[in-house]
Amino acid sequence: MNSTANKIDDQLALAAGLTAKTNQLCLGLESGAADILELVTPTTADLLAWWFGEDMVMARGGSAKGGGGLNFHAGQKQAILNVIVAHEVLGAGLERWTLLDLYRAALPDALLTGTRLKEVSADKHGHPKYCLKMATGTGKTWVLQALMILATAQQKRCTG
């Protein structure tokens, strides 16, 4: 692999680590038997069942393997699940959730690469920060809309 490819892989290390954790927690999501459903709020669990449960996916014209019809495609689904795991599962119980905390929870060894630890410890990263790296035309707007619906539903449930 050339140095440019190594640099790109290195820059996406957190995404790869988070995706691996997310995929592990979401095994069985389509059938309603995933670990993630016990780790998120009831509102999030309900939305996950609505968005990704096999019955609902099929009702919207999708296939048993997911996607198709009026459903999120695999990349959109992964982006939504990664944000939920980063924010609601890995960040649970912390009063203040930072980029450094996300690295520590998802891929601590990546902090040993170059000056990454110094960089992510900077004050400018002292708040929740998520990046959705998706190509143009792959549905980032739909992902962001889903996350806004989730945030609104969470707020409604909390405030009544």
- Closest to 51 (Cα-Cα) out of 38, 37, 39, 102: 37
Average confidence (pLDDT) over 99-116: 92
Average confidence (pLDDT) over 115-138: 87
Average confidence (pLDDT) over 95-120: 91
Q: How many residues does the chain have?
A: 160
Question: According to the model, what pLDDT value does residue 67 have?
Answer: 72
Average confidence (pLDDT) over 105-118: 92
Ranges of H-type helices in 97-139: 99-106, 116-120
Per-residue pLDDT reduced to its tens digit, 28-60: 999 999 999 999 999 999 999 999 999 999 999
In percent, the amount of the chain with pLDDT more than 90 equals 65
CA dist 33 and 27 (Å) reads 8
HSE-CB of 11 using CA atoms within 13 angstroms: 8
Over 80: is that where the pLDDT of 119 sits?
Answer: yes
CA dist 127 and 156 (Å) reads 23
Over 80: is that where the pLDDT of 1 sits?
Answer: no
Question: According to the model, what pLDDT value does residue 96 have?
Answer: 84
Residue 157: Cβ within 10 Å count: 13
* pLDDT tier, 3 (very low <50, low <70, confident <90, very high otherwise): low
User: How far, CA to CA in Å, does 25 sit from each of 78, 86, 118, 140, 158?
Assistant: 12, 12, 30, 23, 25
Domain ranges of the chain: 3-159
In percent, the amount of the chain with pLDDT more than 70 equals 91
Over 60: is that where the pLDDT of 160 sits?
Answer: no
Over 80: is that where the pLDDT of 157 sits?
Answer: no
Question: According to the model, what pLDDT value does residue 66 have?
Answer: 67
Tell which wins on pLDDT, 5 or 143: 143
